[in-house]
Structure 1
Amino acid sequence: MIRKILIALLLITTFTLSAQRTNSSPYSFFGIGDEFNATTVEQSAMGGIGVAYSHYKYLNFTNPAAYSSLRYTTYAFGMLNNDLTVKSGTSKQSSTSTSLSYIAIGIPLSQKAGMSLGLQPVSSVGYSLSNTILDANGDISEVSLFAGNGGVNRIYGSFGIEPFKNFSVGIEADYSFGNIDNSIKHQKIGVALATKFEEVAVVRGGSVKLGAQYKKELKDQKILTLGATFKLGNDFEVTGNDYLYSLSFSSTGTEIPRDTTSTSSINGKFNMPLKTTLGVGLGKIDKWYAGLEYENQNSIEATGFLNTTNNAYKYGKSNRFSLGGFYLPKINSISSYWNRVTYRAGLRFEKTGLLVDGSGNNSNFAKVDDFGMSFGLGLPLKRMSTVNMGFEFGKRGTTDNNLIEENYFNFRLSLSLTDLWFIKRKID
């Protein structure tokens, strides 16, 4: 019964994806939007670790070298539901957004090699902000509305192989693409027409990641694993057009464009430097695992498009510490279903590198840091397939320096369908 309920829940939430906003964070205004960490639901429930982790049936979006351990063909579908509470110095607002996390497949190629193909979001834009200016009497004299939507997705291919015993290497290549629409509407009280500046941008780019893992068998069937990945520096090319025009509003609030004042082309760039991830893990196969991970990246550079022109933000160095793991009481238990459930938990401390100036004088930049604590369940189905659920509570940003603090609850859900391919029949 529990299996049927969970599958029905997954189908229902999948159908709601097209009807929900995919992002509602004010921080999605910056750069190419609110960036997603490339992790499976299983990894997210363990604090986002994965560089030193591999499994014979689970996918790993962190380290392509892990696919050398893949023994079963696995189809994976994931989704994310984000409940967000945004708080400033004087107000608070809540919203909900739902998005598809990934569609992927992992295929074992031999006893020492495997591959994966998939589609994932890279970033999402979905903000709506307003700013008012008061006159000497305290009445509103000007209103500015900031809005954005769109995002960037990627298709990827990963390959991992074990050239030497207990040592694996891997490579991943991807291509990112998407569209972002940013706009600023400005209305002065008593003036018939408002103005609107709109930027419609197309984002394209590719990247390559290299990975390695080393395993050491210890006493009592324990396995020590070391892992590292290096995502090489790459550029996202940003092209498109921006428009400045006047407009009026109907009685229902619908925009009525009037005269176009100017148009120009966009030719920008979002430069991503080398990203290094290191990790160590210890565990027993299908029993328990604990891991620690560190990620580091130098400052990102963004030039040539709307939200870089006013110097309201910049990037510094970013880093992340994650620790987490899982516990599986008894994988082949007959007496208790819950003994076959995988229990996961983790913590994540992240300095995003984003620096925002809330003072308006382009000199007082505040760090936007992120902290999350997570846990999850892996609910087994037939033929080694699983429904994975992850829950994460976290906080990002601060109310200092006129910035915004976000408190969020993320619910993640995935379905991993596992099967055997290319197995020759013994009996015809």
Structure 2
Amino acid sequence: MIRNILLVFLLIASLATTAQRTNSSPYSFFGIGDEFNPVTVEQSAMGGIGVAYSHYKYLNFTNPAAYASLRYTTYSFGLLNNKLTIDNEGEKQISNSTSLSYFTLAFPIGTKAGMGFGIQPVSSVGYSLSDFDEDASELTLFSGDGGVSRVYGSFGIKVYKELSIGIEADYKFGTIDNSITSQRADVSLATKYKEATIVRGGSVTLGAQYKKALKDNLILSGGATFKMGNDLDVTGDDYLYSLSFTGTGAEFGRDTISQSSINGKYKLPLKTILGAGLGKIDKWYVGLEYANQDAIQTSGFLNNSSNNAYKYGKSNRISLGGYYLPKINSISSYWQRVTYRAGVRLEKTGLLVDGAAPYNNFSSVDDFGISFGLGLPMKQLSSVNMGFEFGKRGKTSNNLIKENYFNFRLSLSLTDTNWFQKRKID
């Protein structure tokens, strides 16, 4: 039965993600695009916490040590729908995008270890911007699409009755195209600068979790992850050429002015996440988490003609969240078996942007979100999980853009209790 549901869900997810763009944020113009926080729908509904949290049937993308607590084989799939309102000092624009958040499988190994495998997006590029210079009578169009995804494998094991450790390895891959088109009045040909790049690279994350049983069935937990520094290699070509437009708006290339190869790097330093939590199993949990990373370094790629307009600084995030489950085995009320989640998140993304030349007044792009969600139980420990998040990013001062967003997340967590059990013959 689970396998049939799996096929139906994958079909729906494929149709949804193929039919729509996966991003529409102007901030996806910078770097490798708009980056996603790798969390499950359950985690995102709790403000993104997870480094100190583990569960016997729910997955955890933040800390690989959490797989040591897994006791059931679990398939999980997530979808994200993003409604974005872009505000540029009075002018507003609304857009929608839908994407597949993750596709993963995890299973226990004995009673003290577990593994997980999956694929999920890392970043997405999907912008279309315009700028008109009245003095020069020149229209400039900025556009981009593509993104980066990753495949990963995680392993966690309990090395002591209260201590678990884990390791995760991933490989990132994707393509990103950025272009800038300029057209002057009374000039027959426009010019276009285009970068077509391929992004490749891997990373390793180490994690640990510690749990201590207290009085009254309380459990105190702590966790830490260290995503080791790594490089993303960026290769490709850039082009500068002239073009004209047909009556339908299609491009017609003319002369190539220049062409060169791109060979750059996206250097990601060590990222540290620390957290602690307190709760009762299948009753309630509250956790606090802090993430920190030094400035990202880039060289030789992506928006070379406009890279003076942005740079990177230190990034950090603080999240607070948890869940409440009234009565897991209630017979009289279904809603008492529902898991209720909520959280809040404050983040400095590390992106610094200046909206006007001479590019010496950079502003930090900060992100704030409030989230809540529901875990709707199904048969055999499976569940449908929904998450809702309201937030804002950026600001309108310094010629920047403020984004107000509403994220709706949906996941199907399918738990199979018979995967590694021998079938008995009656």
The answer (yes or no) to whether the contact 2:23–2:126 under 8 Å persists in 1 is: yes
The answer (yes or no) to whether the contact 1:46–1:324 under 8 Å persists in 2 is: yes
1:147 to 2:143 alignment: yes
1:408 is displaced (CA, Å) by 0.1
| Secondary structure at 1:186 match in 2 | strand
Aligned to 1:402: 399
The answer (yes or no) to whether the contact 1:302–1:308 under 8 Å persists in 2 is: no
1:226-283 CA distance string (max 9 Å, x none): 0000000000000000111111111111111111111100011100000000000001
Q: For structure 1, which segment, 148-157 or 350-359, has the greater mean C-alpha deviation from structure 2 after superposition?
A: 350-359
Structure 2 unpaired stretches of 5+: 1-6
Q: Distance in 2 between matches of 1:234 and 1:337?
A: 47
Aligned to 1:384: 381
Aligned to 1:352: 349
- Partner amino acid, structure 1, of 2:320: L
The answer (yes or no) to whether the contact 2:290–2:319 under 8 Å persists in 1 is: yes
Which of 246, 250, 258 is residue 250 of structure 1 equivalent to? 246
- Partner amino acid, structure 2, of 1:242: D
1:50-87 CA distance string (max 9 Å, x none): 00000000110000000000000000000100000000
Which of 321, 328, 332 is residue 331 of structure 1 equivalent to? 328
- How many residue pairs are counted as aligned between the two chains? 419
Q: For structure 1, which segment, 255-264 or 115-124, has the greater mean C-alpha deviation from structure 2 after superposition?
A: 255-264
Aligned to 1:371: 368
- Partner amino acid, structure 2, of 1:210: L
- Partner amino acid, structure 2, of 1:231: K
- Partner amino acid, structure 2, of 1:63: N
1:359 is displaced (CA, Å) by 2.3
Q: Distance in 1 between matches of 2:197 and 2:54?
A: 38
1:424 is displaced (CA, Å) by 2.8
| Secondary structure at 2:336 match in 1 | helix
Aligned to 2:211: 215
Q: Distance in 1 between matches of 2:188 and 2:216?
A: 79
1:425 is displaced (CA, Å) by 3.9
| Secondary structure at 1:44 match in 2 | helix
1:185 to 2:178 alignment: no
Q: For structure 1, which segment, 240-249 or 14-23, has the greater mean C-alpha deviation from structure 2 after superposition?
A: 14-23
Aligned to 2:268: 272
Which runs of structure 1 show a deviation greater than 6 angstroms over 4 or more consecutive aligned residues?
7-11
Q: Distance in 2 between matches of 1:94 and 1:247?
A: 31
1:110 is displaced (CA, Å) by 1.1
Q: What RMSD, in angstroms, separates the aligned Cα atoms of the two structures?
A: 1.5
- Partner amino acid, structure 2, of 1:162: K
TM-score (norm 2): 0.96
Aligned to 1:72: 72
Q: Distance in 2 between matches of 1:306 and 1:229?
A: 30
1:306 is displaced (CA, Å) by 3.3
Which of 150, 172, 177 is residue 176 of structure 1 equivalent to? 172
1:317 to 2:310 alignment: no
Aligned to 1:3: none
Structure 1 unpaired stretches of 5+: 1-6
Q: For structure 1, which segment, 388-397 or 248-257, has the greater mean C-alpha deviation from structure 2 after superposition?
A: 248-257
The answer (yes or no) to whether the contact 1:394–1:408 under 8 Å persists in 2 is: yes
| Secondary structure at 1:120 match in 2 | strand
Q: Distance in 1 between matches of 2:420 and 2:173?
A: 34
TM-score (norm 1): 0.96
Q: Distance in 2 between matches of 1:236 and 1:165?
A: 38
Which of 410, 420, 423 is residue 421 of structure 2 equivalent to? 423
Which of 398, 405, 409 is residue 412 of structure 1 equivalent to? 409
Q: Distance in 2 between matches of 1:60 and 1:294?
A: 16
1:267-301 CA distance string (max 9 Å, x none): 11100000000000001111110000000000001
1:81-139 CA distance string (max 9 Å, x none): 0000000124111100111000000110110000000000000000110010113xxxx
1:426 is displaced (CA, Å) by 5.1
Identity of aligned residues (%): 72
The answer (yes or no) to whether the contact 1:14–1:79 under 8 Å persists in 2 is: no
| Secondary structure at 2:18 match in 1 | helix
Q: Distance in 2 between matches of 1:403 and 1:184?
A: 19
The answer (yes or no) to whether the contact 1:10–1:414 under 8 Å persists in 2 is: no
